[in-house]
Amino acid sequence: MDKYIKITRNLLALLLLLFIGAIAVLNLVAPDRTFSESENRMLEQLPHFSLKKLVSGTFTSDFEKYVSDQFVFRDVWIGAKTDTDRMMGKKESNGIYIGKDGYLIQNFVPPTERDVQEKVDAIHAFDQATPGLNKYVMLVPTAAALYIDKLPKYAIVGDEEIYLEKVRRLLHSNIRFVDVFPALYAEREQPIYYKTDHHWTTRGAYVAYLELCKQMGLTPQKRQDFNIRQATGEFYGSLYSKSGFRHLQPDSIELYLPKDPEKYAVTYIDEGQTTDSLYAMEKLQLKDKYAVFLNGNHGLIQIRTAQPNGKKLLVVKDSYANSFIPFLLKHFSEIDVVDLRYYEGDLASFVDEHDIHDMLLLYNANTFFEDPSIKYLSE
């Protein structure tokens, strides 16, 4: 019996060494990847070596990230780990909870009081620099605020409502805060947020559009004015990628296409490209299918419509606005779309040069409180 035990141990040890050796060889010969489709992000590349970086410790840190990102069969190992965690009852991964009904919900981390004040101050500074511009602020709650009942019982998530209300109270009275929380909450049983992605759905954007129309005195388009088309039923979004949770049902992406369409031109200024559609249908073949709206994020997009009213709107935004903007085409002759994360111009001068009348600042709560670029709104 001892002989068989010894043989078994030796065989297992040999198999383990062969496995480790095979993985080591594969890591050496496998070409580096630049992008992870499953995680939807750029992967770390081999860092440049220098004695200065070695002494400071940055080289070893970067090399560790490189080895982790380029490890052979990385996606398989990540999937195996999250599957094991789920079997053991764990429902959180990388700041994302797996909740009821298949919802992936990202944790909301409360901002500091100073950070909130600095961002409100930036909005006020921009307001002073553009006194003739009507301003509307729409901060959209995330699924973490609307679907508290779908979170695991032990989940500790910051209260977004408190901070959204704080921004509303801090803003000057001439800046209109568009509170979309009640309207979205009333529709929470409908698919207004994706289950695998951090964005709202096109239906959620439409609900918020109705609220903006009330604030701006616009006559909204009705749902029956659109042909609602499913663009894809195979959308796995950012939360699916970031969390590593697998074996979930994909989301569907819907497009609200006007039954009475009008011609318009969309110009991506930095790229020098003009198109006649708000939708980049080719993006549906890629991992980041939400980029079908406005071809993803760009520093400056200028939209010219066939509306003769001469009304001009500036939208300062994050990616939540990408599926929202198509609803605005019927109301404005010109819509200029700015993403401060990529825009480097003087926005106050831009408003003056283009004689813009109205501005909508549209962000989801997480981006507004986390993204530092908003502080440079008036610079």
CA distance 309 to 40: 41
Position 82 confidence tier, pLDDT thresholds 50, 70, 90:
low
Among the residue ranges 6-10, 66-70, 102-106, 316-320, the one predicted with the least confidence is 66-70
Please check the confidence at residue 290 and state whether its pLDDT lies above 70: yes
49, 128: one domain: no
Please check the confidence at residue 4 and state whether its pLDDT lies above 80: no
Position 15 confidence tier, pLDDT thresholds 50, 70, 90:
confident
CA distance 199 to 362: 13
169, 97: one domain: no
113, 42: one domain: no
CA distance readout (Å), 266 to 48, 109, 259, 262, 281: 40, 36, 20, 13, 15
Helix (H, G, I), strand (E, B) or coil at 285: helix
Please check the confidence at residue 329 and state whether its pLDDT lies above 70: yes
Q: Residue 199 corresponds to which tokens in the numbers above?
A: 């964005």
- Which residues, other chains included, contact 8 with Cβ-Cβ below 8 Å and sequence gap of 6+? none
More confident residue, 16 or 98: 98
pLDDT in tens, 333-350: 999 999 999 999 999 999
Tally of CB atoms within 10 A around 344: 9
Q: Which percentage of the chain shows pLDDT scores above 70?
A: 87
Range of the domain at 83: 2-101
72, 163: one domain: no
Predicted local distance difference test score (pLDDT) of residue 191: 96
95, 22: one domain: yes
Please check the confidence at residue 279 and state whether its pLDDT lies above 60: yes
Predicted local distance difference test score (pLDDT) of residue 226: 97
Q: What is the DSSP letter of 267?
A: E
Query: What mean pLDDT, rounded, does the chain reach?
Result: 88
Helix (H, G, I), strand (E, B) or coil at 113: helix
Examine the fold and report which residue of 66, 82, 101 is the final residue of a domain before the chain moves on: 101
61, 88: one domain: yes
Examine the fold and report which residue of 101, 122, 157 is the final residue of a domain before the chain moves on: 101
Predicted local distance difference test score (pLDDT) of residue 318: 96
Phi, psi of 138 (to 5 degrees): -120, 110
156, 246: one domain: yes
Q: Residue 347 corresponds to which tokens in the numbers above?
A: 């926005």
Q: Residue 59 corresponds to which tokens in the numbers above?
A: 């080289």
Please check the confidence at residue 38 and state whether its pLDDT lies above 60: no
| CA triple 356-358-360, angle to 5 deg | 120
Domains in the chain: how many in total? 2
CA distance 150 to 130: 43
Instruction: Say if residues 102 and 96 touch (Cβ distance below 8 Å).
Output: no
304, 344: one domain: yes
Predicted local distance difference test score (pLDDT) of residue 291: 96
116, 93: one domain: no
pLDDT in tens, 40-58: 455 677 777 777 777 777 7
Q: Residue 4 corresponds to which tokens in the numbers above?
A: 């068989």
85, 173: one domain: no
Predicted local distance difference test score (pLDDT) of residue 66: 67
95, 118: one domain: no
DSSP code per residue over 288-311 = -GGGGBTTS--SEEEEE-S-TT--
- Residue 299, beta-bridge partner list: none
243, 294: one domain: yes
| pTM of the complete model | 0.84
Q: Which percentage of the chain shows pLDDT scores above 90?
A: 69
Instruction: Say if residues 70 and 63 touch (Cβ distance below 8 Å).
Output: no
Examine the fold and report which residue of 79, 101, 123 is the final residue of a domain before the chain moves on: 101
